[in-house]
Structure formats: structure tokens, C-alpha cells
Amino acid sequence: MTDEIGVEKYVAAVEPGVVIHAAAITSIRSCESDRTAAWKTNVGGTSNLIRACERRARKPYFVYISTACVFQGDKGNYVETDVPYPKNFYAVTKLVGEQLTLNSHLARKLVARTNFVGRGKWAYARAFSDRYGTYLFADDVARALKSIVLARLSGVVHIAGKKRMSIYDVAKLNNPEIKSMTMKDYRGPPLTIDMTLRSDRLMPYKISI
């Protein structure tokens, strides 16, 4: 993504009809500790890909995967028209990526905000019981994206789960032995507390168990 010439050559060779851009440094700690790398990847990489797509005679439908973290996280239930307010540098880079997408010269473009986790063993020994989202698993989001791509939606859309869940609730689905923790136990960059999303454009999706 950070190799502008390489990205250009690849997009020119493949001539994609659809591009779903999900690549990013997503670790909040990593983004805070090395802001240069975070900006180069999350913003510069997005810019490289958009420019490569803009140069095509048959411009692809471009879908940018963003995050509920672009919001402050103080109230939750954010809809597409709510004003973003990033709380950490990771969220800043994702919001800039959104604006690059929406302001691009691509005729068909979409920003899809969501919060999801991978299906499988939780990466940590504990999970927050007081940090919330409308979580889905990654494969749930993939299925939602398929229908969205087929419909060629544009603008901003929220892919949200039906249920408000803590990260601990989600982690327990695949890892019953996981231990809980609270924000009082946390030391690190600022985090969004309530990442719950709603959508004025789509029905909520059920997290698959």
C-alpha cells in the first residue's frame, strides 16, 4: 500500500471492477507510538490506492472500510449523519481516509463503518466489560459487504450488529475462559468507550454464533 508505483502497476494490471479497501494499521498503541508509520500506511496507502483507481478509464466501485472509533464514544448509537470526533491517532487516520474516499474523483464510492472482531482465540487474557459496540464477526461483515456491493450503495453506511455488547461479551462467545477487566485497569492511549452504531440506511445484522 505504501509503494505508490507498485500499487499503480497492480491496479493497472488487474483492472478491478470493485475495490474493498480494508488494509490498515489497526493497533491503537502502534498508531500512537509510531505516528509516521500509521500515517504512511493508513493515509498514504489509501491515497495511493485511490489515485491508482482514479487513473483507470473504467473506474472501480471503491469501498473503504472504516471504524466506529471515528466517533468520540461518549454516547453511542451513532448514525451515519453524526459528526465524527476522533479520540486517538488511529481514529484520526481512519477519518482522513474516509474524507479521501468521499472527496475522490471516483464516481462510485462508499465508506462502510463497522466494529468487528475475528472469529477464533482471543488475543489477550482479558477483555473489557465496560467498553461497548454493536459487534459482528469478520465473516458477518463480509456477508453484509457482499449485499452492499451488489446494491452499489454510495456515501456513508454503518454495518451494525443488532445487539449492544461489551468486548468481554464478544470474546466469551469463542473463548469462555476469558477474564474480564474494566477501563480502570487500562493504561494506554485514549479509547472510545461506547462504539455502538445504528444505521438509517440498513437493517442491523445478527452476530452469528
The residue type of 201 is: R
> What are the tens digits of pLDDT across the range 92-136?
999 999 999 999 999 999 999 999 999 988 889 999 999 999 999
H or E stretch at 157: strand 155-159
Question: In this predicted structure, what is the pLDDT of residue 73?
Answer: 96
Query: Which residues lie across from 112 on neighbouring strands?
Result: 65, 157
H or E stretch at 28: helix 28-33
Query: Do the Cβ atoms of 206 and 161 come closer than 8 Å?
Result: yes
* Neighbouring C-beta atoms of residue 171, cutoff 10 Å: 25
Question: In this predicted structure, what is the pLDDT of residue 189?
Answer: 96
> What are the tens digits of pLDDT across the range 2-39?
999 999 999 999 999 999 999 999 999 999 999 999 99
Rounded percentage of the chain residues whose pLDDT exceeds 90: 96
Query: Coil, strand, or helix at residue 146?
Result: helix
Question: Domain 4-185, what fold?
Answer: Rossmann fold (3.40.50)
